[in-house]
Amino acid sequence: MRRSFLLHIGAALVVMICGLIWRLIPMGLPGFVRNYGGGVLWGAMVLLVVGAFLGESRRWWIAPLMASSIALAAELFRLYHAPGLDAFRTTLAGALLLGRVFNPWNVIAYWLGIALAWPLHVWIRTAREP
């Protein structure tokens, strides 16, 4: 496997674990930080996963553009309601995977996470094989 792929996936897994800890373990954080910090981590994870699958694309802007689009689509998907889907959203897995309610501020948090993870993505892309 390509080194870039493995580094992206490894970083995404670290961010995902941090996000799960953020969401599931009470840490006494202020409400604003607690609510949107997980979204920042989720956005970073999406960028790293997209970066893993894009490979060595010469167009640096494709990964953040795709990650930003995925983040927006994920939030807009919360506006769609169906009985089975809404029942799944009430479970822990549903809340973590799909979210429960639409909040446009979440999109800002996702995009902030993408922006913060972008230097790591660029570093991984430009790091040479040993």
> For 9-22, how does the pLDDT look when each residue is reduced to its tens digit (9 = 90+)?
999 999 999 999 99
Query: Which stretches within the chain are classed as H helix?
Result: 3-24, 31-54, 62-77, 83-89, 92-97, 104-126
> For 53-68, how does the pLDDT look when each residue is reduced to its tens digit (9 = 90+)?
987 777 778 999 999 9
Q: Which of 87, 84, 103 is nearest to 38 (CA)?
A: 103
Measured between alpha carbons, how far is 7 from 22 in angstroms, rounded to an integer? 22
Using the 8-state DSSP alphabet, how is residue 2 labeled? -
| Confidence label for 76 from pLDDT (cuts 50, 70 and 90) | very high
Q: What is the total count of domains within the chain? A: 1
Using the 8-state DSSP alphabet, how is residue 127 labeled? P
> For 19-34, how does the pLDDT look when each residue is reduced to its tens digit (9 = 90+)?
999 988 888 989 889 8
pTM of the model: 0.89
Instruction: State residue 128's pLDDT score.
Output: 66
